[in-house]
Structure 1
Amino acid sequence: MARIVIFGAAGQIGRRITDEAIRRGHEVTAVEVDAARVKKLPRKANGVEGDVTSRDVVQRLAQDADAVVVAVGGVDRPVHANAARTLVDVLPRIGEQAPAIVHVSSGGTLEDENGQRLVDGSDFPAAERKDALDQADALDVYRGARNVRWVAIAPPPRNVGQGQRRGAYRTGTDRPVVDAQGQVGISHEDFAIAVVDEIERPRNRNRRITVGN
């Protein structure tokens, strides 16, 4: 059993990660910045109010954790890069027992066949660009950090949503995972499986990966 702190636990992806971790018998501390959202969390989760960009909150909650999941989203401020900065500042102070970071990234940070970031392409959705650029900044923070264990897991750049829990997925590195029909996508449920699998069996230390069906 792992002790997992999940920031953004009531969000679309965060809730599935929370449910998957509880399903497998892990001890979950589910964190939301809004007290009203804390009330929507599963009873089996230890729901608490907290901000992932607060050093005091991270220090307190991460002290005895095995992993810290960052699954925040749906905000106007640049929360992803600030969350990364907070974590890489605070966690080394805990010492050798500091938890690993599992950061839910953005498909916009992935690359096309020419090595260009998808977020920089002219056809990338304008409404998603600000968030994707913030996620790219967070990735830079992790890549420049020392004395922390992290992995950033990016969903596909499109076709991500509620769906069937198939229990299977494939992994990639810099480019989106493409199926036999040339399509990309994954359900929230299977993405959550990939996240919890990485917590249970870390295989991708200090790098960004992506997953897809």
Structure 2
Amino acid sequence: MKKVALIGASGFIGSELTTELLNRGYEVTAIVRSADKIKNDNKNLKVVSADIFDTDKLAEVLKNNDAVISAYNPGWTNPNIYDDTLKGYHSIIEAVKKAGIKRLQAVGGAGSLLVAPGKTVVDTGVIPNEILPGVKALALVLKDQFLPEKDLDWVFFSPAGTIEPGERTGKYRLGLDTIIADDQGNSKISVQDYAKAMIDELENPKHHQQRFTIGY
């Protein structure tokens, strides 16, 4: 049985990833800020409260897992979301290395996806100002922290422009750096299908040291 550490397991996407992993029989170490956020007595689930910024302690928690999935988000209402996102991912990447784990799969953002050559979603001006700092920070994490990273076998999995509760259909498209949209220009994915695709990638890795994306 594979053992997976999941950072941010109690969040919107993280909780769905937890469900997907447990349904497939994985042993999951759920790493959260507050352990009481997860109400699940599954025998394969271990919940650990950890400070993401304490790299050494985080590395200790990650040890003995086969892979790490990060759904880390410091909180969309956090006034320091920009700085905390950059600082948090720097710590996560270093902790994964210290723990001796090679595979890191990160929940990315859609803001850095291309809508046209040389033009990203952020460049279009459609992203609301209240979430813009977090979106820009995740784009910078990809550019400055993941893309130069050569020691880890990482992936940065960007969702569609809109990710929301829905059905686990298994019918979607995958791509790399260009946003996936339908004929009407809508870019959507359910959080259930996103979680399925993330764990499919874990079980059968097809992307290495690159970003990929999903959409209907």
Separation in structure 2 between the aligned mates of residue 99 and residue 28 of structure 1, nearest angstrom: 17
- Specify the alignment match of 1:121 in structure 2: 124
Separation in structure 1 between the aligned mates of residue 147 and residue 4 of structure 2, nearest angstrom: 22
Are 1:13 and 2:13 matched, yes or no?
A: yes
Q: CA deviation at 1:67?
A: 1.3
Q: CA deviation at 1:117?
A: 1.9
User: Following superposition of structure 1 onto structure 2, how do residues 70-85 of structure 1 map, counting pairs within 5 Å?
Assistant: 70-73=70-73, 74-75=75-76, 76=78, 77=80, 78-85=83-90
Q: Secondary structure at the match of 1:192?
A: helix
**2:146 equivalent among 142, 149, 154:** 142
Q: Secondary structure at the match of 2:149?
A: coil
Are 1:178 and 2:181 matched, yes or no?
A: yes
Are 1:93 and 2:98 matched, yes or no?
A: yes
Q: Is contact 1:10-1:41 (8 Å) kept?
A: no
What do residues 118-176 of structure 1 show as CA deviations (whole Å, max 9, x unaligned)?
Answer: 11322222122111111012112011223111100011122x11111112321111111
Change in Cα spacing, 1:79 to 1:204, as seen in structure 2 (3 Å) is farther
Are 1:132 and 2:132 matched, yes or no?
A: no
Separation in structure 2 between the aligned mates of residue 168 and residue 57 of structure 1, nearest angstrom: 40
User: Following superposition of structure 1 onto structure 2, how do residues 194-205 of structure 1 map, counting pairs within 5 Å?
Assistant: 194-205=197-208
- What is the aligned residue count? 208
Q: Secondary structure at the match of 2:214?
A: strand
Unmatched 5+ residue regions in structure 2? none
Identity fraction in percent: 28
Separation in structure 1 between the aligned mates of residue 84 and residue 11 of structure 2, nearest angstrom: 14
Q: CA deviation at 1:86?
A: 1.5
- Specify the alignment match of 2:161 in structure 1: 157
What do residues 77-129 of structure 1 show as CA deviations (whole Å, max 9, x unaligned)?
Answer: 3333223211332333344xx14111101111111113212113222221221
Separation in structure 1 between the aligned mates of residue 210 and residue 113 of structure 2, nearest angstrom: 12
Q: CA deviation at 1:61?
A: 1.9
Change in Cα spacing, 1:93 to 1:72, as seen in structure 2 (3 Å) is closer
What do residues 50-76 of structure 1 show as CA deviations (whole Å, max 9, x unaligned)?
Answer: 133321232112211111111122252
Q: CA deviation at 1:48?
A: 1.1
Separation in structure 2 between the aligned mates of residue 63 and residue 191 of structure 1, nearest angstrom: 26
Q: CA deviation at 1:180?
A: 4.3
Unmatched 5+ residue regions in structure 1? none
TM-score normalized by the length of structure 1: 0.90
CA-based RMSD of the aligned residues comes to 1.7
Separation in structure 1 between the aligned mates of residue 160 and residue 121 of structure 2, nearest angstrom: 11
Separation in structure 2 between the aligned mates of residue 53 and residue 26 of structure 1, nearest angstrom: 26
Q: CA deviation at 1:33?
A: 0.7
Q: Is contact 2:159-2:213 (8 Å) kept?
A: yes
Q: Is contact 2:8-2:14 (8 Å) kept?
A: yes
